[in-house]
Structure 1
Amino acid sequence: MKDQDRNKAIMFADIVGSSALYVELGNKAAKAFIADTLKTMSDIVERNDGKVIKTIGDEIMVAFNLPDNACEAAIAIGLELRKINIFVRTGISYGNVIIDNNDAFGDTVNNAAHLAKLAQARQIVVTNEALVSLSPWLAQLCEPFDKIFLKGSTEQTTIHRVTWDKYEGQVLDATLVGSHLDTGHGGLGTQLTLTINGQTHTLHKNDPPLVCGRDPNYASICIANEKTSRRHCSFYYHRGKFVVEDHSTNGSYIHTSDSTQLYIRREATPLTNEGIISLGQVKSPPNQQIHFKI
């Protein structure tokens, strides 16, 4: 049956580290474990009014009528699977989809699949089209994640992460989320200046994220060092403060003006005053150090 010109929220959810399970458990046990995990994910999808279109190895592709249902299902999956120390990476897109012979086609599908590949363990990444269609309580959980080219687009677009994992131990419920979130902190400046090798980049509070890394296809600020990841870290303004978020393998070292040193790896932290950031090593060469000032 063919269903054209219908907006759908498409979600791809991929089990992280499934290959290691085959080594750890053996082929038969790992296959059964993954099948059980996919069944758990599918049950949660159905409870949130979604339809599993197909299973691709250790990944499910799902269609929902609304982005709210997709995000709520993704959060519920994350909350349930962390009980058994299993994590997923999830991409969600919203737009026109063609459903034909129990399969889905179109840029919306391709974009969701692409976002799932960009996401890291425990991350839920959504397109801007999905974000603007979310209910306020879910939209409040979203923060800028990256700026990328989506398929068929000649302009970069900002994608967003649903920060459900920041509130572990708290009930993620529409009636409670608002009380857990601050909407502003103030006093931390509205402009971030980044200087590297004599080049200065300025980030304002309404600007999209500024990405640093080794690969010019991902990064606005390129640092050619083997210890730097292709998309190493990003800077953005979030709820009254400028934040640096590390996406890398080797992490980032932040040296502040008061001589404090902070190491982050695949996590975010607010920036204050001024300091130096070294990517992938305790102290980068002088021409590869990022000097920041707010």
Structure 2
Amino acid sequence: MPTKTSNPPQQDANSSQCAIMFADVCGSSSLYKALGNHAAEFKIRQLLVRVTSLIEQHQGLLIKTLGDEVMVRFDSAQHALDAAKAIQLSMAAQGGSLQLRIGISFGSVLLKQGDAFGDTVNDAAFVAQIARAEEIILTQPFVSALPTSKAKLCKEFDRVALKGDGEKSVIYRLQWQAEKSVGQATQVMSLIQTTQQFHKHSLRLASDQGDAIIAPEETPFHLGRATSNQLQLESNFASRDHCHILYRRGKFVLIDHSTNGTYVTPAGQREIYLRREELPLEGRGDISLGCPAQQSPLILSYHFSN
């Protein structure tokens, strides 16, 4: 992952509003072990040539290649979005063991001697590392720079503290995979219908350090050591802003964004480890922040009620 860049002196540098994309190859380590250094390097280089070609077709400019990762600049947020989607669609059509994860941001960038510097570059690199294989993760400034028709394809994914920023920002995930058509079109339930159907739902959290009953309209509901959380929990294993709970279409969903992860044990099932992942909380179960339940000084029980 590129380290946070320090801005060079502004002399001989031009400031420009643009989109910065990082596209990183996933699965390269196992490929090197399976094929050997030369064969694996050749296959990855072929993939990056194909990616670069798609970038150029969408008016992108390759800034540099960093190992298995490319850094790209676009003058238009829409061109960057279209390029990212085209890349992932091409990868999916080709199949194979290699996949890409992509992160994009938009904003003021310092351009000097063919390179780019600044917070926008750092933010794009940061969200690229959050992305999993086949994902396209976007910052709030990038989504705001898109036309409305394109912005609608971007769904809220998480709230994170970007590098060097103490406050959390919303990040988004692009829904690039077209829904397969089978028979007649799916009838979509309206938000009003959904709300009416599930308005009685609630989630109860209980621990030695405090209880809470969460209604759908009270989410996102944050948990962690910081006093700013709705439920403050003291544990050396927990992060200050450890996780939060959202309500989506009749389900309470736990989203982890911590350092050590979250362990969830649904009643009668095995313990599940989450790190920058999410899980619906259904029925009853236990939550441990930062370490497995057997090692935890703090167990949080949950009970979903409808």
Instruction: Give the structure 1 partner of residue 106 of structure 2.
Output: 94
Moved more, 104-113 or 133-142: 133-142
**Match of 2:284, as an amino acid?**
G
SS at match of 1:164: coil
**Match of 2:163, as an amino acid?**
K
**Match of 1:38, as an amino acid?**
L
Instruction: Give the structure 2 partner of residue 32 of structure 1.
Output: 42
Q: Calculate the TM-score normalised by the size of structure 1.
A: 0.72
Moved more, 95-104 or 114-123: 114-123
Q: Could you tell me how far apart the structure 1 residues matched to 2:133 and 2:13 are?
A: 33
> Does the CA-based 8 Å contact 1:205-1:236 persist in structure 2?
no
> Does the CA-based 8 Å contact 1:210-1:236 persist in structure 2?
no
Kindly provide the CA deviation profile for residues 196-229 of structure 1, in whole angstroms up to 9, marking residues without a partner as x: 444346576585574679xxxxxx867666xx99
In structure 2, runs of 5+ residues without a counterpart are 1-11, 226-231
1:6 to 1:46, Cα distance in 2 relative to 1, 3 A:
same
**Match of 1:24, as an amino acid?**
A
Offset of residue 81 of structure 1: 1.6
1:18 aligns with 2:28: yes
Offset of residue 99 of structure 1: 1.6
Instruction: Give the structure 2 partner of residue 67 of structure 1.
Output: 77
1:17 to 1:231, Cα distance in 2 relative to 1, 3 A:
farther
**Match of 2:132, as an amino acid?**
Q
In structure 1, runs of 5+ residues without a counterpart are 171-177, 214-219
Moved more, 260-269 or 11-20: 260-269
Structure index of larger Rg: 2
Offset of residue 120 of structure 1: 2.2
Q: Could you tell me how far apart the structure 1 residues matched to 2:162 and 2:262 are?
A: 27
Instruction: Give the structure 1 partner of residue 118 of structure 2.
Output: 106
Query: What is the aligned counterpart of 2:130 among 118, 143, 154?
Result: 118
C-alpha RMSD over aligned residues: 4.2
**Match of 2:136, as an amino acid?**
I
Offset of residue 45 of structure 1: 1.5
1:194 to 1:48, Cα distance in 2 relative to 1, 3 A:
farther
| Percent identity of equivalent pairs | 33
SS at match of 1:21: helix
Q: Calculate the TM-score normalised by the size of structure 2.
A: 0.70
Offset of residue 114 of structure 1: 1.2
Offset of residue 97 of structure 1: 0.7
> Does the CA-based 8 Å contact 1:7-1:96 persist in structure 2?
yes
> Does the CA-based 8 Å contact 2:28-2:98 persist in structure 1?
no
Q: Could you tell me how far apart the structure 1 residues matched to 2:221 and 2:14 are?
A: 35
